[in-house]
Amino acid sequence: MIGESFIDVDFCRQAKSGQVVAGDVFLSRKIKEEGRIITVLSDGLGSGVKAGVLANLTATMALRYTAAFVDVRQSAKTIMDTLPVCEKRQISYSTFTIVDLDGDGKTRVIEHGNPPLLRLRGATPVPIERVSLTLETWKDRVIYYSEFDTQLGDRIVFFSDGVSQSGLGCAGLPLGWGADRVTDFLQRQILVENEISSRELSRKLVAEAVINDARMAKDDITCGTIYYRSPRRLLVLTGPPFNRERDGELAERAQAFNGRKVICGGTTAGIVSRLLGRPVTMNLAQLDPEIPPPAVMAGIDLVTEGTITLAKVAEILEQANLGEPRRKNAASDLVLLMLQSDIVEFMVGTRINEAHQDPNIPMELDLRRNIVRKIALLLETRHFKEAHVEFI
């Protein structure tokens, strides 16, 4: 069964100006069988490679212990015992914020050293009751633990001090941006766009922090956002059914589906067009030397060519930084629709396209099906989407 709730997790990070490697690390792990997503933000002391290595070590340990439901104190003690201590400042080389959220909204949060995370219901801040914990071997360190029920529509936003301290010493921000101004900024963004995604909200907050620093980040700047919401669905129809008698199923699914709809492939588009009586027209405004142009059909959000476009989609999803500017074409449009969705359903026809493959080659080697499987895997493992593939 496809769930009625979805955990939208994403982040944005900007390295300190002049540094190639960021000292902040943001990691997430999806435990599919338990319906949990664990997210960690760690900020290494200073910046650059050394800070990044220690922050990565912290975040990796935090993910492992939290996934195993290790006691909060024991997890924190192990992390702190492992990390070196700065000789001058006598503090650990890395901070951490851990958020453990399941599909029912049950949330556990562990915070040490980072600015307190924010919880928003719509655009309204929701107070968090924190319990302070101390460790026998680290009595000067305070860890904050909280548990609460996250409701549909709630957001959890957490960030490194590069956000809250951005603009420090600048005109109008002598003490930095501060938690109150950060909260006000988030509220304004949500009021403008109530359904803003975690990716976009994180990006906007980091961009504003960089502006505060006169567009030259004075520290690593990272924001992570978790948006617990009703799922946004996307249907991708690609390939004609193995039996022509089942062509009607494509048209029925396209007509009845409650969500955004995409058709990949000229033959598939032709079937839906014929059975629903909706003409297909080419969109020549998007000409690209690599990717065939999209088409337009009433009631369908995007119509593209098939295998070439899907292969490019897989390539883009596999790349690390999806925030980089890209040429606007049918593949980038489809990637954007996928990233804006929570549940992506693929209905894949299994009739072999002779233009792409010798029909004597075994069915398992069919290009379209292998590409779709790869896209579904990337969506689930790298982008924390829910993907379902149906072959007909």
**Single pTM value for the model:** 0.77
Q: Is 236 exposed, middle or buried (0-12, 13-18, 19+ CB in 10 A)?
A: buried
For residues 177 and 252, membership in a common domain is answered with no
In sign, the C-alpha dihedral spanning 323, 329, 335, 339 is positive
Q: Is residue 304 part of a domain?
A: yes
Mean pLDDT computed over 12-24: 93
pLDDT at 349 over 70: yes
Largest distance between two CA atoms of the chain: 75
Q: What is the pLDDT of residues 27-76, one digit of tens each?
A: 999 888 888 999 999 998 878 888 888 899 889 989 998 888 877 777 77
Q: What is the mean pLDDT of residues 307-332?
A: 83
Residue 147 to residue 100: CA distance in whole angstroms: 10
194 & 330 share domain: no
Pair (154, 268) in one structural domain: no
Distance of CA 32 to the CA centre of its chain: 16
Place of tokens 């009021």: 191
- The domain spanning residue 160 has which CATH number? 3.60.40.10
Predicted confidence (pLDDT) per residue in 234-292, tens digit: 999 999 998 989 999 999 999 999 999 999 999 999 999 999 999 999 888 778 888 99
Say if 382 falls within a structural domain: yes
224 and 251 assigned to the same domain = no
Examine residue 32 and state whether it is found in any structural domain, yes or no: yes
Alpha-helical (H) ranges within 114-170 are 161-164
Dist CA 177 CA 160 (whole Å): 12
Going by the DSSP 8-state scheme, the letter that residue 175 receives in this structure is: T
Percent of residues, the chain, with pLDDT higher than 70: 90
Last residue of a domain, one of 229, 246, 279: 229
**Tell me: the pLDDT tens digits for 162-203?**
999 999 988 778 889 999 999 999 999 999 999 999 999 999
Based on the fold, state whether residues 181 and 267 are members of the same structural domain.
no
How far apart, in Å, are the Cα atoms of 356 and each of 143, 151, 198, 303, 361?
58, 47, 38, 19, 11
* 181 and 259 assigned to the same domain: no
- Find the mean pLDDT for residues 296-300: 95
Q: Are residues 28 and 69 in the same domain?
A: yes
Mean pLDDT value across residues 341-367: 69
Residues 118 and 136 placed together within one structural domain of the fold:
yes
Beta strands in 20-165 (DSSP E): 24-31, 36-43, 96-102, 106-112, 118-121, 124-125, 131-135, 138-149, 154-159
Of 86, 109, 90, the residue nearest 99 (C-alpha): 109
pLDDT at 294: 94
Residue 372 lies in a domain: yes
Judge whether residue 357 has pLDDT over 80.
no
Do 206 and 339 reside in the same domain of the chain?
no
Interatomic CA distance for residues 28 and 281, integer angstroms:
42
Is the pLDDT reported for residue 1 higher than 50?
no
Domain end call among 229, 249, 283: 229
Residue 295 counted as domain residue: yes
Half-sphere exposure of 276 (CA within 13 A, CB side): 21
Paired sense of beta strands 233-238 and 260-264, if any: parallel
Is residue 222 domain-shared with residue 357, that is, in the same domain? no
For residue 347, what are the domain limits?
233-391
Instruction: Answer yes or no: is 289 within a domain.
Output: yes
- Boundary (domain end) residue, out of 179, 198, 229: 229
> Does residue 246 share a domain with residue 172?
no
Q: Are residues 89 and 196 in the same domain?
A: yes
Query: Considering its fold, how many domains does the chain have in total?
Result: 2
- Residue 363 within a domain: yes
Distances (CA, A) of 353 to 240, 244, 346, 367: 9, 13, 18, 9
Indicate whether 375 belongs to any domain: yes
The residue behind tokens 């690209």 is 288
